Amino acid sequence: MKKLFFFWNELRATFWFVPVLIILLSILMAIGFVYMDQIYTFSQDGLGRFFFVHSVDSARSILSTISGAMIGVAGTVFSVTLVALTLASSQLGPRLIKNFMYVRLNQVVLGAYISTYLYCLIVLNAIQETNGFTFIPSLSILMAIIAAILNIILLIIFIHQIAVSIQADKVISDISVFISNQVSQLFPENMGDEPDTENDLAVDPIKSKYSTLTSLKSPKTGYLQYVDSASLLHTMKNFDGLFEINYRPGDYIVETIEIGKLYTNGKLEKEQLEKIFYHFVIGKTKTAQQDLEFSIHQMVEIAARALSPGINDPYTAITCIDHLTATMCYLAQVKFPSKYRLDDKKELRVIANTVDFEGVLDAAFNQIRQFSAGSTAVIIRLMDVLLLIHNLTSNESYKKAIIKHVKMTLNVGKQSIKEENDLEDLKERSNKILIT
Identify the pLDDT of residue 210: 87
Please state whether beta strands 242-245 and 348-351 pair in parallel, antiparallel, or not at all (unpaired). parallel
Q: Is residue 1 over pLDDT 60? A: no
Amino acid at 274: E
Give the percent of the chain with pLDDT over 70: 89
Q: Which of 142, 148, 105 is nearest to 15 (CA)?
A: 105
Q: Which of 331, 324, 326 is nearest to 395 (CA)?
A: 331
The residue among 405 and 3 whose pLDDT is bigger is 405
Q: Is residue 347 over pLDDT 80? A: yes
Coil/strand/helix, residue 96: helix
Q: Is residue 90 over pLDDT 80? A: no
CATH superfamily of 191-325+333-355: Pyrimidine nucleoside phosphorylase-like, C-terminal domain (3.90.1170.30)
Coil/strand/helix, residue 350: strand
259 to 190, 244, 249, 262, 423: CA distances (angstroms): 22, 9, 12, 10, 47
pLDDT digits 0-9 by tens, 299-327:
898 898 888 888 888 998 999 999 999 88
pLDDT digits 0-9 by tens, 25-72:
999 999 999 998 888 766 555 555 556 777 888 889 999 999 999 999
Identify the pLDDT of residue 388: 93
Q: Report residue 118's pLDDT band, with 50, 70 and 90 as the boundaries.
A: very high
Of the ranges 39-53, 66-80, 198-212, which one carries the lowest mean pLDDT score?
A: 39-53
* Pairwise CA distance, residues 18 & 27, whole Å: 14
* Pairwise CA distance, residues 134 & 64, whole Å: 18
* Pairwise CA distance, residues 318 & 49, whole Å: 62
pLDDT digits 0-9 by tens, 255-291:
989 999 999 888 888 888 888 888 888 888 888 778 8
Residue 273, judged by CB atoms within 10 A of its CB (0-12, 13-18, 19+), counts as middle
Contact criterion met (CB below 8 Å) for 411 and 374:
no
Q: Report residue 192's pLDDT band, with 50, 70 and 90 as the boundaries.
A: very low
Mean pLDDT of 217-245: 88
Identify the pLDDT of residue 42: 61
Mean pLDDT of 148-176: 85
Q: Is residue 329 over pLDDT 60? A: yes
pTM to 2 decimals? 0.76
Residue 412, judged by CB atoms within 10 A of its CB (0-12, 13-18, 19+), counts as buried
Please spell the DSSP secondary structure of 121-175, one letter per residue.
HHHHHH-EEETTEEE--HHHHHHHHHHHHHHHHHHHHHHHHHHHHTSHHHHHHHH
Identify the pLDDT of residue 150: 94
- Determine the number of helices (DSSP H) and then strands (DSSP E) in the chain: 17, 10
Torsion angles phi and psi, residue 222, rounded to 5 = 155, -170
Q: Report residue 191's pLDDT band, with 50, 70 and 90 as the boundaries.
A: very low
The residue among 424 and 176 whose pLDDT is bigger is 424
* Pairwise CA distance, residues 299 & 173, whole Å: 10
Q: Report residue 293's pLDDT band, with 50, 70 and 90 as the boundaries.
A: confident
Instruction: Please state, rounded to an integer, the average pLDDT across all residues of the chain.
Output: 84
* Pairwise CA distance, residues 120 & 64, whole Å: 7
Amino acid at 115: S
Q: Which of 170, 188, 71 is nearest to 120 (CA)?
A: 71
Eight-class DSSP state of 193: B
Contact criterion met (CB below 8 Å) for 316 and 299:
no
* Pairwise CA distance, residues 390 & 409, whole Å: 14
Q: Is residue 128 over pLDDT 80? A: yes
The residue among 385 and 42 whose pLDDT is bigger is 385
Mean pLDDT of 328-336: 86
145 to 52, 152, 341: CA distances (angstroms): 10, 11, 59
Contact criterion met (CB below 8 Å) for 262 and 216:
yes
Identify the pLDDT of residue 237: 87
